[in-house]
Each structure stands twice: as C-alpha cells, then as structure tokens.
C-alpha cells in the first residue's frame, strides 16, 4: 500500500509539472537571490499531500513549501514537489518530483520522477534500486582523477574554508569534469545509475535528498556527511559516490590536496 500511494503521489505531482511547464505561472522568491517558488510547486505539493492524506491520514508529512504537518505517527513523508525549481521556471527540463518515506527514523522507500525525460527512479530499503523498473548500479571508477562528478551551489553563499567554490576550483584545475545540473535529487539518481561517479553539496535540506540518498545506497553506492558519518538528511552536507572513490573525494572536500 505504501508503494502504491508513493507512486500515485509522485505521478500526480509530476502531472502538475507537465501542466505548467513553459506556460504562464506566478513566481515568487524565498530567502536568497533566485531561490524561487512557483505556482506549479504549490499545485504539485497540493496534489501529493491530498493523495497521501486519502490513504494515510495519520502520517507525518514534511514538505518544502508547506513545512511540517505533524502527527504522532512513526511514518514520515518527505516531499519536494519540484526539485530544480529554477530550472523549471526557466523552461529547463532537469527537474523532478522527489518523495522519501521514513519509518522510525530510517528511510525505507523513495521515488524520484522527471516527467520530461520519463525517468522514474525507485528504491525500497534492502530491495535495490531501479530506473523505469530496471535494476541500476553505481559505476566502477576507482579514482577521483578519472571520475565525472556533479555538485550544486547554495543560493545563499557562505564563504567558509573548503567552501563550494574552493572544492570546485581544486577539482577543475586537475581537469576533472564537474557538472552542475541544478537538481540534487536528479544528481543523486544519476550517481545511482552510474552516470556520475560522485556528488557533493554543502547545503541541502531534507526534501532535497531524502529519496535520492536511499536510491544511491540501494544501487550499491555510499552516502555520508562530510565527516564520513552515516548520512542523515537533517544535516546540510552530503557526499554520495560509487563507494570506490568515496574516501578520496571525502578528503578533497575537507581540504586535502588532489594528487595524481
């Protein structure tokens, strides 16, 4: 029942993305420059929450735009109605709906759907990860120097040691391709699918990563915070890799030089 409701909710949210895409819709700004929210975000979120509430009215919900709909349930739905809103608002089809389900503090199920590429990613804890119902696995790259990486930059930039720009500069000066797609959920899914070998970001919210980090883990990858601890979506730092380059990339993110 949980899986069915999850799939229905993601698809309903994605239908709103398709309805509004490249159309006329209201756009407003949240904290930070270009931290957008659109009419489509609200429409997607409304459809998603309605479906969850129909099937599981007692469940806890955490959603990007609405915030917390608290309950005493041990099950929490973590929702990003549009991950990649700036892309969406500019007609760039690298955006998605992302929903993770947490039970007793553990992520047990997640789905990410980009309706414009018709890519539906799904994972259930202990049962693997899939793209359009076909099993996916992370890459086999062994070195950061030979990897293809992806990252993101915060809209409210904090100029700290080993910040996003410093790490990015260090990598690209060695000729390492580092992409910036604008959707953390898609970044994570593409690590899971083996398209990227690693993803790091300095400032994420729970709804950005809740589904995607489980999808990476179930595809055989590794996800931690910047201290190398088991990842929690309730802290900002994320490093997700194929596992083979994890320790090396973790050291680089924390200030170590990148060696040949």
Residues classed as catalytic: 64, 80, 82-83, 85, 208
Count of CA atoms in the C-beta half-sphere (13 A) of 171? 30
Helix (H) or strand (E) holding 172: helix 164-172
Nearest-angstrom CA–CA distance, 56 and 58: 5
Nearest-angstrom CA–CA distance, 177 and 40: 33
Sign of the C-alpha dihedral computed for residues 34, 35, 39 and 41 taken in this order? positive
What are the tokens at 192?
A: 């899971």
φ and ψ of 227, to 5 deg = -95, 0
Buried b / exposed e along 166-187 (16+ C-beta atoms within 10 A):
ebbebbeeeebebeebbbbbbb
Nearest-angstrom CA–CA distance, 102 and 10: 16
Nearest-angstrom CA–CA distance, 110 and 158: 30
Nearest partner of 78 among 57, 95, 114, 103, judged by Cα: 103
Residues in the chain: 260
Interstrand relation of 119-124 and 106-114 (parallel, antiparallel or unpaired): antiparallel
């Amino acid at each position: 029942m949980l899986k069915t409701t999850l799939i229905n909710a993601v698809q309903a949210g994605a239908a709103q993305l398709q309805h509004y895409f490249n159309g006329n819709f209201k756009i407003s700004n949240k904290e930070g420059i270009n931290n957008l929210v659109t009419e489509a975000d609200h429409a997607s979120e409304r459809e998603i929450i309605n479906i969850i509430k129909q099937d599981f009215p007692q469940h806890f919900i955490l959603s990007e735009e609405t915030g917390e709909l608290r309950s005493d349930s041990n099950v929490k739905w973590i929702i990003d109605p549009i991950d990649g809103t700036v892309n969406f608002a500019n007609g760039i089809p690298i955006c998605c709906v992302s929903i993770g389900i947490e039970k007793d503090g553990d992520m047990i199920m997640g789905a990410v759907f980009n309706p414009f590429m018709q890519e539906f990613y799904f994972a259930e804890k202990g049962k693997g990860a899939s793209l359009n119902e076909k099993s996916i696995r992370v890459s086999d790259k062994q070195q950061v120097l030979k990897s293809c990486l992806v990252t993101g930059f915060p809209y409210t930039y904090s100029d700290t040691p080993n910040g996003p720009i410093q790490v990015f500069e260090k990598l690209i000066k060695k000729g390492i391709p580092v992409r910036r797609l604008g959707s953390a959920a898609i970044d994570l899914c593409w690590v899971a699918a083996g398209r990227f070998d690693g993803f790091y970001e300095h400032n994420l919210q729970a709804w950005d990563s809740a589904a995607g980090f489980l999808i990476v883990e179930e595809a055989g990858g590794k996800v931690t915070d910047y201290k190398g601890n088991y990842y929690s979506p309730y802290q900002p730092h994320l490093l997700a890799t194929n596992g083979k380059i994890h320790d090396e990339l973790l050291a680089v993110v924390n200030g170590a030089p990148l060696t040949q």
